[in-house]
């Protein structure tokens, strides 16, 4: 799995490569956790292509399993998913609305927006 340690103005996180498949199922999230622990960072930035194909269909349970496992290890996940990316199931949209209130998971149209969210959640941790 190609995850790179990134330092954006003092905010560190691991990042997947855009347009590269990294996880074929929820079981592969362990590699993200290992990368975060290895690089001592609490956050990952992934792209829609990095996730299992069924991630955005909540009925598949892929998103729930991945997000729960990351939460168990206190790892936040920012996902870059442009508007032309995969469609969301209606339930996934409902989950995203609920998640906006927290600091564990976010979906963003651009990498810049995802990095800003990581920065903000990191600043909230420091308070």
Name the residue ranges covered by the structural domains of the chain: 3-126
**Architecture, CATH, for domain 3-126:** 2-Layer Sandwich (3.30)
pTM: 0.88
pLDDT computed for residue 95 by the predictor: 75
Q: What DSSP assignment string belongs to 50-109?
A: GS-TTTT-GGGSHHHHHHHHHHHTT-EEEEE--TTSPPPPHHHHHHHHHHTTSSSEEEES
pLDDT computed for residue 38 by the predictor: 97
Q: What is the mean predicted confidence (pLDDT) over 105-122?
A: 93
CA distance 5 to 42: 11
Q: What is the mean predicted confidence (pLDDT) over 80-104?
A: 74
For 17-51, what is each residue's pLDDT tens digit?
999 999 999 999 999 999 999 999 999 999 999 99
CA distance 78 to 15: 9
Residue 83 above 80 pLDDT? no
């Amino acid at each position: 799995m190609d995850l790179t340690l990134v330092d954006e103005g003092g905010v560190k996180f691991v990042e997947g490569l855009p347009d590269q498949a990294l996880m074929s199922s929820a079981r592969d999230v362990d590699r993200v956790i290992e990368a975060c622990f290895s690089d001592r960072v609490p956050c990952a930035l992934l792209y829609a292509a990095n996730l299992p194909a069924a991630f955005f269909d909540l009925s598949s349970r892929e998103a729930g399993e991945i997000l729960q496992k990351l939460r168990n290890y206190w790892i936040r996940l920012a996902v870059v998913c442009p508007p032309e990316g995969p469609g969301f199931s209606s339930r996934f949209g409902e989950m995203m609305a609920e998640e906006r209130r927290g600091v564990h998971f976010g979906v963003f149209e651009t990498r810049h927006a995802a990095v800003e969210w990581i920065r903000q959640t990191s600043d909230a941790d420091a308070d």
